[in-house]
Structures are given as C-alpha cells and as structure tokens.
Amino acid sequence: MSSKYLAMVSPEQWGDVDPRSRTILDEAGIDVIRNTHRRLLVETEMKELIKGCNVAISGAEPMTAAVMDQAPDLKFVARCAVGLDSMDLMAARERGIGVSYVPGANAQAVAELTISHILTLIRGVQRGDALLRKGEWFRMMGRNLDELTIGIIGVGKIGKRVARHLAAFGAKIIANDLAPDEDFGAPLRIDWVSKDRLFKDADVVCLHVPKAPSTLNLVGREQLAMMKDGAFLINTARGGLIDEAALADALRSGKIAGAGLDVFGQEPYQGELAGIENILMTCHMGANTRSSRARMEIQAAECLIAYIRSEPIPNLVPDSEYELQVQMKALR
C-alpha cells in the first residue's frame, strides 16, 4: 500500500501527545510527509509540502485552491479540526476531493477553557498576577459565580458542557439558541431568552456559535451598549463574532469590565486589544488538551483509513457546511 498512498500530514503536533495517530497510518502502510517546522504552516509552505500527495491530513493550516492545485492526484483530506474556516470546501468539491472533519472532538476542552476564562476574569486573577510581578501586593476584589447571571449564546455540544459546569457552581444561566433544547435546560433551570434580553441581563456573556453570515459581528457597538456596566464577554468560539474595535472602546471606557478571547478575526493576533489591560487573551488553544488533541488526531487518522479501504467514512463534511462557506464568501 505504501506505493499507492502518500499522505501530507500538516498539523505540527501530530502524534506528540499520543503516538496512536502515527501508528494507525504506519500500520496501514501509508507513506507520510510531515510538517517539520514545529509551527503552523503558511500557504507557500503548504504548497511545497503537499506536492506528490494523493491524500492528506490537515488542521488549521490554509488548505486553499492554490495548495490543492500543487497535488493534482489529491483525492481526500481528513481534517484534524472541528472548524472548516481554513479549508476551501468549494475548491475541494470542484476537484473531486472528499473532506472529513472531527465535530465535537474538542468540546470538553473548549468548555473548560471557557470556564477558566470566566473564573480568571471575575476574580481578577490576571490583574493580580501582573501587579504582584511589579512588586505590588494588592488583593483583588472579585465576585462569586453563584451571584452571577451567565448568558450563553449557542447551546450546542460546547455550550451544553459550559452550562453544566456553570450550574455546578450555582450560577444562574440564561441562554439563546435557534432551537432551544428544553429537555436539556429544564434540570439546569436554564431560562431561554432573546439575544437582546441576554445582552441586557447577563453579567457574563459567552459565545458558542459557528461563524456564519448571521453571526458575523454578533457583538457590535449596539450589543455592547446593551450590556450591564461592568459585565464580561467571553469568546472561545470563532473570530469574527465580535467587532474588535468596538470591544476595544468598551474596554477602555470601562463599560465592559473585562473580556476573555481565545479567537480573533485575524490570527496570529497583533491588534489593538493586545495593549489593553482588562482583557485575557489566549492563542486559539481551546482544543489543546492532551485528551482532546489525541482524540482529534485519532479520529482524523481513522477517517483517512476508512477512505483508503473504501469503507463508510465517519464525519464527512455535510452539504450545509459547503453552502455556509459559499454564503461567507459572498459577504467578502
């Protein structure tokens, strides 16, 4: 089989946490070309890496039409990722390239990072740390979760986990979703509300929605103005959901007490938010726990093996994702 399949594997951490993802490919006799840069690749590097490959495993690296054109025999891409922003799905479809992904594989990890951001912000942990490092002993005055109302926009795989964690802390939860799951919400006493009501009533607003035409700049100046004075905003979902310039103004003015962002409109991020004190920023690391990373890699490897063996492929990207990407491109 090694003479038949040559796979590009572009995720830089592939097999570092759990070698099973490598073993699966080795045992199937697949020849592998690895990303040896130990970092996220840019398009020009992807174009070089993929040459001669007929299958691939990719992550957050740009899998563009130009990259695919460097591998005329490419027939299948297994995404080691939940999101599809960096994959040109229509270019893949036009070239007859199948695509799979790993939805839900990182849900617990992202939910836990969300809780970490919330706790860090409401207790002033990052501010206390910064002051102590400067030689100032100042005991921050924070708030308990059980005295707060947390608003969750998007109650899917991740949003539900966030809600369960928050309920265990005794927080009051209000939520907004296109299809409220009443059976899920009832035991947690979730109050399903409109987006406007959520922005007005929540002490902390958490975003857990996909990037879509309807969610671009979901939180802009109007929504920030609605929020309580001293409220907090968390986004561990997708960049582009928040008007970052408007958020910067709200943070500087003190309208918003703090924000926790793991994702940004442009990544790696180097914008004005980096110069603002009352914001907690992480580098799109929501999925980066050992178990989550291993799960994503193993599932991606299994999808690739299923393709090679002509078996049913788990988690093929649904048509709705292709249609969504077309809509997003129309807005640019």
Alpha-carbon dihedral 41, 45, 48, 50, rounded to 10 degrees: 20
User: Would strands 98-100 and 55-58 be described as parallel, antiparallel, or unpaired?
Assistant: unpaired
pLDDT at 12 over 50: yes
Q: Mean pLDDT for the chain?
A: 95
> In the predicted model, what is the mean pLDDT of residues 267-274?
93
Comparing CA positions, the residue from 305, 31, 257, 289 lying closest to residue 126 is: 257
pLDDT of residue 213: 92
Preceding omega of 19 cis (within 30 degrees of 0): no
Instruction: Please state the separation of Cα 332 from the chain's center in Å.
Output: 21
Q: How confident is the model at residue 34 (pLDDT cuts 50, 70, 90)?
A: very high
pLDDT at 49 over 80: yes
What's the token pair of residue 15? 């097999």
pLDDT of residue 143: 96
Identify residue 111 by its one-letter amino acid code: A
CA 55/CA 307 separation, integer angstroms: 9
CA 85/CA 63 separation, integer angstroms: 9
Provide the b/e sequence for 308-325 (b: ≥16 CB within 10 Å).
beeeebebebeeebeebb
167: helix, coil or strand? helix
pLDDT at 2 over 90: no
48 is catalytic: no
Beta strands in the chain (DSSP E): 6-9, 31-34, 55-58, 76-79, 98-100, 149-153, 172-176, 191-192, 204-207, 231-235, 256-261, 279-281
pLDDT of residue 1: 40
Beta carbons of 14 and 34 less than 8 angstroms apart: yes
What's the token pair of residue 142? 């924070």
pLDDT at 38 over 90: no
Q: Which among 79, 127, 208, 238 is annotated as catalytic?
A: 238
> 216 - beta bridge partners?
none
What does the pLDDT look like over 174-208, one tens digit per residue? 999 999 999 999 999 999 999 999 999 999 999 99
The CA distances from residue 163 to 4, 110, 111, 208, in Å, are 47, 12, 9, 11
CA 53/CA 74 separation, integer angstroms: 6
Q: Which among 12, 45, 112, 267 is annotated as catalytic?
A: 267
DSSP 217-246: TSB-HHHHHHSPTTEEEEE-S-TTSB-HHH
267 is catalytic: yes
Query: How many other β-carbons are positioned within 10 Å of the β-carbon of residue 247?
Result: 24
Q: Which among 284, 293, 295, 302 is annotated as catalytic?
A: 284
CA 74/CA 93 separation, integer angstroms: 12
State what percent of residues in the chain have pLDDT above 90: 92
End-to-end CA distance of the chain, in Å?
Answer: 43
Comparing CA positions, the residue from 331, 328, 332, 313 lying closest to residue 89 is: 328
Q: How confident is the model at residue 267 (pLDDT cuts 50, 70, 90)?
A: confident
Q: How confident is the model at residue 85 (pLDDT cuts 50, 70, 90)?
A: confident
Please state the pTM of the whole predicted model. Answer: 0.91
Beta carbons of 56 and 76 less than 8 angstroms apart: yes
Beta carbons of 116 and 139 less than 8 angstroms apart: no
> In the predicted model, what is the mean pLDDT of residues 38-47?
93
Beta carbons of 175 and 193 less than 8 angstroms apart: yes
What does the pLDDT look like over 144-168, one tens digit per residue? 999 999 999 999 999 999 999 999 9
pLDDT of residue 165: 98
- What domains sit in the chain, N to C, each tagged with a CATH number? 6-105+290-330 (3.40.50.720), 107-281 (3.40.50.720)
